Amino acid sequence: MKKFLLKLLVVLSLGILAGSVLAAPVMGVLTPQVAEAADTPPAPPNTPSRAGWSFNLLLTWLITNGITSQPADANFVEGTSAKIDFASTYDKKVWLLDTNDVTGVTTQIYRNGAWSAYSAAPTIVKKAPTANITMDLGSNLPVGTYYFQFTVNYNGGIRNAYSERIKVTIVPAPEDAVSIGPVPHRSVIFWGESTDIDANLLPENSTSVVTWTPPAANMGSLAVTTGLVTRFASTLIDANATDERLNNDNGLPATIGATATNTVRPGTVNGSTQVIVGGLVKQDAIAGRSFSYTPAALDGITFPQGMTPSYQWTVYNANRQKVTTSAVLNNPSFSWSSVVKPPVSDRYYLQLNIILKGSGNTVTWRSNMAPLVVSTPASQLIAVPNLRFMNYVDGVFRTPTIADFYQASGVTLRYSPLTTQVGRGTYDGNNTGFLAVQTVGQNWNLSVQASGFTHQLSGLSLPTNPTLTLAVPLANGGSQVVSVPTGDAAAPVTVLANQTTNYSGNLNSATTLQVPQTSFMLTGNYQSNLTWTLTQAP
């Protein structure tokens, strides 16, 4: 059994000292206020479809129809041609069935408080596995704000694909951008996943043309390089590959730049953003304790149309070699009922594959390898208090007199901190009443033992043995009262038992020292040594 010992002093003072009382600060409550937009965009007439996907297998495209690059919000000057670009899956033939051909695109517009059909001319450029679509909204829309949704039609009665709702603003004259601050819809993604990035121009009705700078080629690509929105598709890494890009503790940043070109006052404004590709971050665990981890990157994740996900975690040692554990590995959350100390160094590495299956095809999104640092259970006694006791009469601390100790019932003194209190030997007690224990995954007990009181100058022992009553603050706001006998033969008393978390608290004047009637007393200070012992609980 491990023990941690600390000694300090309890002083029974017969000098003349003044006490003081500090008032506790009053804390106010801040109530969050919700700011609402002046106008709320209308819901689209059809629920937007999930993204389509394509996969090349033996020179044949396996496809689930859908939009692969969404249309984006746009601003146009009145009288100019308003064109919107986006992309869909496409292939002329799949398994001898003509089902992946894009046959047309229809448009809905929201104006005057209602959705209605709108005549927009589509231009469709087809090259498997993609159909690039441009919708010409014409040049006759008056100044104002409009919302659009597009519907892509496929051959053979295959379901339609509905786009996201977009906002189109028509302004009377060109408007330069003052700033550009790109923002990704998802700032952390897995390898193989995609996310849209908004240019975030100010003012919002700016007509400046936005061009995008793609990240490093090994990170992925952009669906479009002009427009108020682009789509970043991270690289799809083979499910069984050992790839250096995965060896980043918290993922790998992909930097995407954006430039707005102004025309009223020619010039540019620039901005950039980062998308972290990986999905996992460093975790901490304690040997012998349970551990679970649900990656935050799974929140709000959207899987491609028609694809069903499953999950596969892999555990590696510090040398990035696979190891077998008792952890649950096939859920979105990694869980381990009792973490085993790592065989190498102080860590494991965790890696997650998200396996997407649909239409006989399998695609795998992969995470980075994130450290799981395992700590050995340990506890440490951080702080113990010195205690000084005085008489408390009519709400005021005062120095007890010898006559107080001659009373038949003795005298009960209260704890009153002394900032300059020191012991006769080397003690590590503090003078603020502070008691603290720090633990890392270890249950612990804390006990205290009090020696008899001796006069600091003469060395004579106090004829009686007082009783120390500790009022130990608890997390619920209450106190645990512990009676501690004093005397050279006094046994240790448990103060806190089988604790599982860190502890800290400050003793107050509810901590007392009851001194029985004493027949002999000298003026000056009497001292008792307290020995605090921290042990591992069973």
Secondary structure (DSSP) of 313-346:
EEEE-TTS-B---SSB-SSSSEEESSPPPPSSTT
Which residue has 């599982």 as its token pair?
500
Q: How many residues does the chain have?
A: 538
Residue for token digits 């603003």?
169
Distance of alpha carbon 225 from alpha carbon 235, whole angstroms = 17
| pTM: predicted TM-score of the whole model, two decimal places | 0.69
The pair of structure tokens assigned to 109 is 């517009």
Residue 16 predicted with pLDDT over 50:
no
Number of other residues whose CB lies within 10 A of the CB of residue 459: 7
Confidence of residue 6 (pLDDT cuts 50, 70, 90): very low
> Confidence class of residue 424 from pLDDT cuts 50, 70 and 90?
low
Contact (Cβ atoms closer than 8 angstroms) between residue 414 and residue 390: yes
Using alpha carbons only, give the angle 394, 511, 526 rounded to the nearest 5 degrees. Answer: 90
Mean pLDDT, residues 213-228: 94
pLDDT digits (tens, 9 = 90+) for 112-139: 999 999 999 999 999 989 999 999 999 9
Residue 7: per-residue pLDDT: 40
Instruction: Please name the residues in contact with 355: beta carbons below 8 A apart, sequence gap of 6 or more.
Output: 239, 309, 310, 311, 312, 362, 363, 364
Q: Is 419's pLDDT higher than 90?
A: no
The token pair that represents 37 in the structure block: 């937009």
Distance (Å, rounded) from C-alpha 353 to C-alpha 196?
Answer: 22
Are 425 and 419 a contacting pair, CB within 8 Å?
no
User: Comparing C-alpha atoms, which of 444, 425, 457 is closest to residue 531?
Assistant: 425
> What is the dihedral sign for C-alpha 385, 386, 391, 392?
negative
Residue 81 to residue 74: CA distance in whole angstroms:
12
DSSP reduced 3-state for 500? coil
